[in-house]
Amino acid sequence: MFVPPPLPIQIVSLIIQAFFGIIILAMLIRAVASWFHMDERYAFIRFLARLTDPFIAPTRRIIGQVGVMDFSFIVTWITLMILEALLLQSMPIGW
C-alpha cells in the first residue's frame, strides 16, 4: 500500500482546524450576541447568521426548542468538534 510522504507543513490539518475553528467561534459570538438581544438588524450578526445557519438549522429542525432554551447550538457545537476530530484522525500522518 502506497503511503504518501509527509508534507513539510501540515497544510490539510491546518485548513481543517481553521475551518472548524472559524465556524465554532462564529457560533459562540452569535450565541453571546443573542444574550444581549443583538439580532439580525446588525450587519455583523446577519453575516454570522448566514455563516452558521447551514450548520445549526438542521439540528434545530430535529431538536426544536425546549421551553425557552435552544439546545441546537450545543448539539451542533459538539457535533462539529467530533467531526473535526474524526477528520483529523483519519488523515495520514504528516498531512
pLDDT digits (tens, 9 = 90+) for 44-75: 889 999 999 999 999 988 887 777 777 888 89
Q: Which residues contact 35 (CB under 8 A, 6 or more apart)?
A: none
pLDDT digits (tens, 9 = 90+) for 5-29: 666 668 888 899 999 999 999 999 9
Q: What is the pLDDT of residue 68?
A: 72
Q: How many C-alpha atoms does 92 have within 13 Å on its Cβ side?
A: 9
Q: What is the pLDDT of residue 19?
A: 94
Beta bridge partners of 66: 69
DSSP 36-85: TT--TTSHHHHHHHHHHHHHHHHHHHHH--BTTB-THHHHHHHHHHHHHH
Q: What pLDDT band is residue 86 in, cutting at 50, 70 and 90?
A: very high
Q: What is the pTM of this model?
A: 0.79
